[in-house]
Amino acid sequence: MSEKARKLFDALDLNADGLLTRAEVISALRDKGPTLAAGGDLPFWGLGDADASSALFDAADKNGDSVLTYEEFAQEVDRRFGW
């Protein structure tokens, strides 16, 4: 798992509890996404609307428990973003 995935996960984990909720992913990508992309921590094409952020969450939530661990998140973003 990549350092970029860790940095992105930490940026999206708004309450710093080590888990991502759908609301955190949508809110953080909306609010922080452009800055993360400008800094090279998220591909510009990875920015999307709430539906795209929700789809990313669904793809990563392999066990269906409605939260993402770092491992679930990193596996999906590493694959999706080619990290």
pLDDT tens-digit readout, 45-64: 877 888 989 999 999 999 99
Model confidence pLDDT, tens digit, residues 8-54: 999 999 999 999 999 999 999 999 999 999 998 889 887 788 898 99
* pTM (2 d.p.): 0.90
Residue 77, burial from CB neighbour count under 10 angstroms (0-12, 13-18, 19+):
buried
CATH code of the domain in which 52 resides: 1.10.238.10
CB 68 within 8 A of CB 31: no
Residue span of the structural domain in which 55 resides: 3-81
Q: Could you tell me the pLDDT band of residue 82, with boundaries at 50, 70 and 90? A: confident
Q: What is the predicted pLDDT for the residue at 15? A: 97
**Looking at the 3D structure of the chain, how many domains does it have?**
1
